């Protein structure tokens, strides 16, 4: 049995925490936030591909897609993010949030990482994909709860909260631009 505690129960737990925190605020942000969970990533991004073909909100109205996949394996305070080049201003936003929080970021411009943000990027929606990277337990029976670093998850989720709030609250939306290449590999391999 592959329990998938990091891939991707850690991301699911983070999204649930983000939803609870954002719904508990005294006022909602300027823009709506849609929380979506996709299935069958490993079988060819089936869930996210289906969504972009049948979106709840038209993709032209979608400001960005934030994806959390495998954020449960520290070190605490270090986070990888792909898609930094998929919208003008993303890099500045991330650097600003990192300065405020003390988060150390490993950034990649590419929007083509092999995860659920890719179909959105291919439809010209700006994307940010957050991860703490691959590890030796990835896709094995050893990816279990004992290896999850709860503090790393908490710190990463808090950081992503600030990014999501900013995207939803910003006066001007971030505009798509091509963030091509394979530099996403440096994020996936950041702990190897």
pLDDT tens per residue across span 106-134: 999 999 988 989 999 999 999 999 998 76
For residue 137, whether the previous peptide bond is cis, meaning omega lies within 30 degrees of 0, is no
Q: Which carries the bigger pLDDT value, residue 177 or residue 134? A: 177
Beta bridge partners of 67: 129
The edge-to-edge listing of strands for the beta sheet with 104-108 is 65-68, 127-131, 78-82, 104-108
CA angle 53, 54, 56 (to 5 degrees): 135
Predicted confidence at residue 55, as pLDDT, reads 96
| Residue 169 CB burial class (10 angstroms; 0-12, 13-18, ≥19) | exposed
Q: Which residue has the tokens 């391999």?
A: 189
How many CB atoms are closer than 10 A to CB 60?
Answer: 9
Average pLDDT over residues 36-60: 88
Residue 105: band (very low, low, confident or very high) from pLDDT cuts 50, 70, 90: very high
Query: pTM (2 decimals)?
Result: 0.90
Q: How far apart are CA 85 and CA 76, in angstroms?
A: 25
E strands along the chain, which residues? Answer: 65-68, 78-82, 104-108, 127-131
* Residue 128 near residue 63 (C-beta atoms within 8 A): no
End-to-end CA distance of the chain: 24
Residue 135: band (very low, low, confident or very high) from pLDDT cuts 50, 70, 90: low
**pLDDT over 90 (residue 79):** yes
* Residue 93 near residue 152 (C-beta atoms within 8 A): no
Q: Greatest CA span in the chain, whole angstroms?
A: 47
């Amino acid at each position: 049995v592959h329990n998938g505690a990091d891939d991707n129960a850690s991301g699911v737990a983070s999204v649930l925490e983000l939803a609870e925190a954002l719904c508990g605020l005294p006022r909602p942000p300027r823009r709506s936030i849609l929380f979506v969970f996709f299935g069958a990533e490993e079988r060819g991004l089936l869930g996210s591909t289906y969504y972009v073909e049948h979106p709840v909100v038209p993709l032209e109205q979608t400001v960005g897609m934030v994806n959390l996949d495998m954020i449960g394996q520290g070190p605490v305070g270090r986070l990888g993010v792909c898609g930094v080049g998929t919208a003008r201003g993303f890099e500045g936003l991330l650097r600003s949030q990192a300065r405020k929080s003390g988060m150390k970021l490993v950034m990649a411009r590419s929007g083509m990482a092999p995860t659920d943000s890719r179909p959105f990027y291919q439809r010209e929606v700006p994307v940010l994909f957050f991860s703490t990277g691959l590890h030796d337990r990835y896709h094995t029976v050893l990816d279990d709860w004992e290896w999850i670093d709860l503090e790393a998850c908490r710190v990463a989720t808090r950081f992503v909260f600030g990014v999501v709030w900013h995207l939803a609250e910003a006066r001007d939306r971030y505009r798509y631009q091509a963030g091509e290449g394979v530099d996403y590999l440096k994020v996936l391999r950041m702990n190897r």
